[in-house]
Amino acid sequence: MHLKAPEHQVAGHIAKDGKPGPLVDDKGRFFKPLQGDSRGEIEVKFYESFSSNTEIPDHIRRYFPVYHGTQAVEGSDGAAMIVLENLLSKYSKPSVMDVKMGSRTWYPEASEEYIRKCLRKDARSTTVSSGFRISGFEVYDHKELSFWKPDRKLLNGIKVDGVRLALRKFVSSNTLSDTSSKPDAAFASSVYGGSNGVLTQLLELKTWFENQTFYHFNSCSILIIYENESIHDDDARAQVKLVDFAHVHDGNGVIDHNFLGGLCSFINFVRDILQSSDESTENN
Amino acid sequence: MHLKAPEHQVAGHIAKDGKPGPLVDDKGRFFKPLQGDSRGEIEVKFYESFSSNTEIPDHIRRYFPVYHGTQAVEGSDGAAMIVLENLLSKYSKPSVMDVKMGSRTWYPEASEEYIRKCLRKDARSTTVSSGFRISGFEVYDHKELSFWKPDRKLLNGIKVDGVRLALRKFVSSNTLSDTSSKPDAAFASSVYGGSNGVLTQLLELKTWFENQTFYHFNSCSILIIYENESIHDDDARAQVKLVDFAHVHDGNGVIDHNFLGGLCSFINFVRDILQSSDESTENN
């Protein structure tokens, strides 16, 4: 089995300090190292529960990576890994964004120290103000014919206006490293709009979150992916996926109002960009 | 002008330590003392802004008390008061519940001390877990022919199951002080259900909150009121009203995901009671 580091990792854990990072094979699978303490355990428990939960409708299941169990992986010191669908394996020039959902990333049962650490990060970022934060993104630059990825430190400090700008940049065709020109949001309607676009998918997820009381997705991310190679033929192949379940808790009959509130807010940001790009088209 | 203390105050500030409490007159007006520090100022600013905001649709305006300006009130040391519609003046035997909305009652700009104080209260109550907490309620007991009001300290400690029980008790016809019998939820369909019921009103508010970015209603409550005298004729006259705007902030183009998330969660609690009372009717 030939394994290598994934090419378009925009957020989350990477190989560091001798610890293994995630790996991909050439058969469309993604290997995620089990995180230490209870996190790896919780993530496996979630995938086991979710994949066998018959009350998850198929149109919702497609928003989650397919789970292939766990496996000890050679060459990574035999470390146990979660084997998932590689969400990017069928993309040639993917743009990817990781959006951490919710206005809080902690949960009541956590240690005081953990809560304090999360709270500080939540308040510094747009988590508290906007109900989500952009953890990372990588976008294909059609002018430079290369991928552009903002520094993570730069992203950590952005406020609401920075989020708006990032969501426009993510679907723009002009040079991204050039900060003097306004991002044109040329791909907004193909990526965010349309019956297969991001907004439609988010609204479908929202309907499910208004009712589901199985899981509370603390500190979970929405991944947004689209293909740049086919985008000029208006085939963005936009995908919304939920990832990172190391802090998922039982819903105990209560909906995940924290995720849902953030999702509604994110939906409004996306809708705003679609509406403003509609207006600029009309004005042309 | 004859002023007296309101009869069915279930939560919020009361006369204490020489400070004036709220008063009502016999013309359907409610006088609310301006709270100290910036809170009174913020609440007046909100009412001024809201009452002159032409972008608030009429079907939403009816969920807010009518504002009659501010007034110095004799007999209350000439203290300035906010003059509002007395929401209960036309009710003879009202049941009233105060539900503080949102999974956090603090906001980023507040002092560290204030945030810490709110956080402790939020985590102890159902605010963090359920996205709202019941601050108080008073319900007309059809067996005892008198009003029943749980102790506020008792309410502070309730968890998710306690919220479910309180929401059933609030619409039950059997004796409320008797803890051995299960609340029958006899009025659930007349109060919570129907085209004029609480659920319909909450859903209408939800639609507005999914789009409105004018205000963030931090630490604001939903008041639920219904009439017991006419309830056997199936005329509950159920009303949902938003109250307490001492911590309302500018939305800055972002929806109030904190209020909205809590509202969606509250809607699910109400819907659960309606569904379980439907089932018990079917089984009879």
ipTM score for this prediction: 0.93
Mean pLDDT for A104-129 is 91
Is B258–A160 a contact, with Cβ atoms under 8 angstroms apart? no
Q: DSSP letter for B236, please.
A: -
Is B260–A262 a contact, with Cβ atoms under 8 angstroms apart? no
Q: Which residue type, as a one-letter code, is found at position B39? A: R
Q: Which residue type, as a one-letter code, is found at position A56? A: I
Angle between helices B257-283 and B160-169 (to 10 degrees): 60
Q: What is the sign, positive or negative, of the torsion defined by CA atoms of A116, A121, A124, A130?
A: negative
**CA nearest A124 in B: which residue?**
B108
Question: How many CA atoms lie within 13 Å of B5's alpha carbon, on the beta-carbon side?
Answer: 10
CB-CB contact of B190 with B166 (8 Å): no
CA angle A159, A165, A171 (to 5 degrees): 140
B128 neighbourhood in chain A, CB within 8 Å:
104, 108
B262 neighbourhood in chain A, CB within 8 Å:
257, 261
Is A260–B258 a contact, with Cβ atoms under 8 angstroms apart? no
Buried b (16+ CB within 10 A) or exposed e, B239-268: bbbbbbbbbbeeeeebbbbbbbbbbbbbbb
Q: Which residue type, as a one-letter code, is found at position B89? A: S
Q: Residue B261 is nearest to which of A130, A211, A260, comparing CB atoms?
A: A260
Kindly report, residue by residue over A145-169, the tens digit of the pLDDT: 899 998 888 888 899 999 999 999 9
**CA nearest B123 in A: which residue?**
A108
Is B254–A129 a contact, with Cβ atoms under 8 angstroms apart? yes
Pairing of strands B221-227, B239-243: antiparallel
Is A254–B108 a contact, with Cβ atoms under 8 angstroms apart? no
Q: Which of B106, B202, B257 to mutate to test the interface with A (most CBs of A within 10 A)?
A: B257
Q: How far apart are CA B258 and CA B100, in angstroms?
A: 12
What dihedral angle (degrees, nearest 10) is formed by the CA atoms of B196, B202, B208, B213?
Answer: 150
**CA nearest B163 in A: which residue?**
A254
Q: What are phi and psi of A271, to 5 degrees?
A: -65, -40
pLDDT of residue B252: 93
Mean pLDDT for A193-221 is 97
Q: How far apart are CA A13 and CA A6, in angstroms?
A: 12
Is A265–B253 a contact, with Cβ atoms under 8 angstroms apart? no
With residue A187 as reference, give the H or E element that holds it: none
Q: How far apart are CA B63 and CA B66, in angstroms?
A: 9
Helices (H), B70-197: 112-124, 127-130, 152-156, 160-169, 188-191
- Residue A149: other Cβ atoms inside 10 A: 15
pTM passes above 0.90:
yes
**CA nearest A125 in B: which residue?**
B108
Q: How far apart are CA B202 and CA A49, in angstroms?
A: 33
Chain centroid offset of residue A191 CA: 15
Strand partners, B83: B31
CB-CB contact of B194 with B220 (8 Å): no
Q: Residue A130 is nearest to which of B123, B160, B254, comparing CB atoms?
A: B254
List per-residue pLDDT tens for chain B, 284 residues long. 688 989 887 776 666 666 778 999 999 999 999 887 889 999 999 999 999 999 999 999 999 999 999 999 876 677 789 999 999 999 999 999 999 999 999 988 888 899 989 999 998 999 999 999 999 999 999 888 899 998 888 888 899 999 999 999 999 998 777 777 889 999 999 999 999 999 999 999 999 999 999 999 999 999 999 999 999 888 999 999 999 999 999 999 999 999 999 999 999 999 999 998 777 665 54
pLDDT of residue A83: 96
